[in-house]
Each structure stands twice: as structure tokens, then as C-alpha cells.
Amino acid sequence: MAGIYIHIPFCKQQCNYCDFHFSTSLKNKNGLLQALLQEIEIRKSFTKGAKIKTIYFGGGTPSLISGQELNQIFDQLNNHFSIEPDAEITLEANPDDLNIQKIKELKNTPINRFSIGIQSFFDQDLQFMNRAHNSQEAQRSIKGIQDAGWNNITIDLIYGTPTLSNEMWQENLQKFKQWNIPHLSAYGLTVEEKTPLFHAIKKGITANVDQEKAKQQFEILMQFAKQEELEHYEISNFAKKGFMAKHNSSYWKGDSYLGLGPSAHSFDHNKRQWNVANNSRYIKAINQGVPSIEQEILSEKEQFNEYIMVSLRTIWGANLDLIELRFSAFLVDYFNFSVGKWMKSGEIEQKENIFKLTQKGKILADRITSDLFYVD
């Protein structure tokens, strides 16, 4: 299965926790979109003719570009790739962009799935995060998309912020339920270096993440998912039956994907590539016919670590048969030895040759996967 990720690097303003590549200036937007159209043609051989089953517009804020601009991108994709008729095509969108006019525009595009960056239904949370929308716009955007006929929708929520109590978090989850949304991505707030949040904490302006409260809110989340019969199919992702994200699932299963646009990553089994994270340099390189791409070939140990990190976070788990097939005997022995202590303490369980995190283990997912990494 092959997928395409397209990075649209524009935002109205910077969310205080975000360390993705973006620009709040739209002055290069036309030039960048033209470069993107050229890159689609330049890199058409990357997927080796494989059928494209998923397309994902991420950012940045892809909902800042028009329906007409989206259709230009789709026309170029169809010119150079074979896209499955039932391909999952996702657009990340901010609530404040999804007004009536914008939704009408998007009805005339192939977009069939929305990922709406709600983050919270409380204004104090949204203000803390420096989001561009308010709680009313959050709910209005969901209603607008549903009323227009889309039902394949996911929303993002963030827990662990200093402004979010456990009671408020429960109310956010109830709002998700009330809107009858089939998919939820819920992330604990993380503090990345060089972000406004990092500097505010360093200066004592903002409280750091309360890890105990974040743990409690993750436990509330897991309990809610169980009660609502949502499949907890990846640490941060929950879905009703039939609504797992196909694009993200392909990442977690190790499928190949092509990344287009500045800072976008591509992956092809043991090879990872990424575009330059600078809009002007990206445009210049594409106009010269030579994309500015860096590449690394993953060693066997790096491939092993990547597989462990990704697989254990999912419902599919780490498959010992696959580990034995793909990796040298010393890595197989290392895995069998290292996983033992986590099984004894109840964080990992084994069913036949599949190793999965237990409910207890999911709380420690990052710690467990890093502990299982092979380090020379």
C-alpha cells in the first residue's frame, strides 16, 4: 500500500506548543503551490507505479488554501499517479476556516475525510494554546461539516494542559460523544524545545506539564474509550468500527509513503528522505529541477528500533515471527530478553507470537519502547 502526504506550511498564527514547519506569512503561497505541482511530477517515480490508497494534507493549516487550489493539486496527482477510486483523502482543517463558503468550496473537491484541530471545547484552553478559534467556532465547524454530508471525521483533543481540570477533560470527551464523531486523536501536551511554550515555562511565566494529572487524564480517556466501544488502535488514536485512519495506519504498519512539500518526509522500507524545511529554499530548488532532499539509509539496528517503537504502540503489536524474519539472531535474542521484564511486571502481554501493551503498559508506552531499543 502506498500513500502520499502533502505538507501545506502556512498558519494564521503559531500555537504555543507547535514545532512543525510553518510560516505565518502567505506571501510565498502562490510560488510554493506552483513548486508543489512541479514536485509532484519530479517525484512521480518514488512509488514505483504502486496504487495510491491514501492522500493526506497536513501542515501547517491546509484549510488555508482554496478549493480551486486543492483541485489543481488533485489534477496534477491524477496526471502522475494511479489513485484508487476509494482512496482515503484527508484534509487537516482549523475550525475558524470552516465557514459556510469554505465548506461549499470543499464539497467540490475529492476530500472525503476531515481531521479538525479542535484541541479543546473550552476557551481558556484554546487561549492558553494560542489557537486561532474559540469554543463556538469549534462546535460550529463540526456541525457545518456534518450538515454538508461528511461523516468520516476525526477531531484532535489535547490533555495535560495547566488550564484543563479532570472534570473539563471529561466534558471535552462528552462533547466528542454528543457530536457522534467516529474517530478521536487525543494527545498529551508535550513541551518541545524552541516553542513559545518551552520559553514561557523556562521563564516561569507558565506552569510545566503536571505529569501526574496528564496520567490521570490518559486513564480517563482509556476508560471513556472502553465505555463507548472505541477501538484503542494506537496510543493516541481511537475509532468506531470501520473508521480507523487508513493513512496513519499505513505509517504504523511500515508501508511506503511519499512526502511532498517543504519539510515533508518520505519512507521506503529502509530509506527515509525529507525535504528542506524552508519555504524559499524549497521553491528555489524545485524551480531548478532538483528538490532539496536529504536521505538516510536505516541500518538493521535502526530498522529494528523503528519497528519496536511503532508496532508496540498499536493494536497489532510486535510480531515475533516478523522480527525473526527481518532481523539477525542477536536482535531476536535481545528482544526476547528485554521484553521479559515488562511481561513479568504486567506492562506487556504475549498472545501466541504477538506482544502488546496492556492497559497498564499503555501509560508507560514511551518509556517501554525506548527501553527496548537496541543501543550499542
pLDDT of residue 25: 85
* pLDDT higher than threshold 70 for residue 119: yes
| CATH at residue 55 | 3.20.20.70
Q: Is 303 or 26 the better-scoring residue by pLDDT?
A: 303
Predicted TM-score (pTM) of the model is 0.95
**CA distance readout (Å), 289 to 41, 43, 189, 267, 282:** 10, 11, 40, 21, 11
Last residue of a domain, one of 252, 284, 318: 252
Query: Same domain for 211 and 355?
Result: no
Q: How far apart are CA 36 and CA 42, in angstroms?
A: 10
Q: Is 7 a domain residue?
A: yes
Q: What are φ and ψ of residue 121, in 5° steps? A: -100, 15
Burial class of residue 57 (count of CB atoms within 10 Å of its CB; 0-12, 13-18, 19+): buried
Query: Same domain for 89 and 12?
Result: yes
| CATH at residue 345 | 1.10.10.920
Quickly list DSSP for 52-64. Answer: EEEEEEEES-GGG
DSSP 118: E
Q: Is 67 a domain residue?
A: yes
pLDDT digits (tens, 9 = 90+) for 60-92: 999 999 999 999 999 999 999 999 999 999 999
Number of domains in the chain: 2
Query: Same domain for 225 and 316?
Result: no
The cell numbers describing 97, all together, are: 476556516
Residue 317 binned pLDDT confidence (cut-offs 50, 70, 90): very high
Q: Give Cβ neighbours of residue 275 (< 8 Å, ≥ 6 apart).
A: 7, 259, 260, 261, 262, 263, 264, 265, 282, 291, 292, 293
* pLDDT higher than threshold 70 for residue 141: yes
Q: How far apart are CA 103 and CA 143, in angstroms?
A: 11
pLDDT, mean over the chain = 95
Nearest to 316 by CA among 307, 326, 306: 307
Q: Is 285 a domain residue?
A: no
Query: Same domain for 158 and 222?
Result: yes
Nearest to 89 by CA among 99, 78, 80, 97: 78
Determine the residue type at 22. F
Spatial strand order of the sheet with 256-260 comes to 231-234, 237-239, 183-188, 153-159, 113-119, 83-93, 52-59, 2-8, 256-260, 265-268, 271-275, 293-297
**CA distance readout (Å), 302 to 110, 217, 272, 321, 373:** 37, 32, 11, 19, 9
Percent of the chain with pLDDT over 90: 91
pLDDT digits (tens, 9 = 90+) for 251-280: 999 899 999 999 999 999 889 999 999 999
Q: Is 287 a domain residue?
A: no
Query: Same domain for 14 and 74?
Result: yes
Q: Are the C-beta atoms of residues 357 and 368 closer than 8 Å to each other?
A: yes
Q: Which residue has the cell 510480531?
A: 319
Q: Domain limits at 348?
A: 300-372
How many residues are there in the chain?
376
Q: What is the mean pLDDT of residues 117-132?
A: 96
Burial class of residue 111 (count of CB atoms within 10 Å of its CB; 0-12, 13-18, 19+): buried
Q: Is 195 a domain residue?
A: yes
Determine the residue type at 328. S
Last residue of a domain, one of 230, 252, 274: 252
Quickly list DSSP for 244-288. Answer: --HHHHHHHTT-EEEEESTT-EEEETTEEEEE-S-HHHHHHHHHT
Q: Is 269 a domain residue?
A: no
What are residue 268's DSSP bridge partners?
Answer: 271
Residue 14 binned pLDDT confidence (cut-offs 50, 70, 90): confident
Last residue of a domain, one of 233, 252, 271: 252
Query: Same domain for 116 and 236?
Result: yes
**CA distance readout (Å), 26 to 14, 22, 61:** 14, 10, 11
Query: Same domain for 248 and 313?
Result: no
DSSP 3-state of 336:
helix
Nearest to 364 by CA among 347, 346, 339, 343: 347
Query: Same domain for 197 and 305?
Result: no
Query: Same domain for 218 and 321?
Result: no
Q: Is 22 a domain residue?
A: yes
Q: Is 275 a domain residue?
A: no
Query: Same domain for 225 and 116?
Result: yes
Query: Same domain for 213 and 314?
Result: no
Quickly list DSSP for 77-99. Answer: HHHHS-EEEEEEEEEEE-GGG--
Residue 1 binned pLDDT confidence (cut-offs 50, 70, 90): low
Q: What is the mean pLDDT of residues 153-158?
A: 98
Query: Same domain for 37 and 132?
Result: yes
pLDDT digits (tens, 9 = 90+) for 199-237: 989 899 998 989 999 999 999 999 999 999 999 999 999
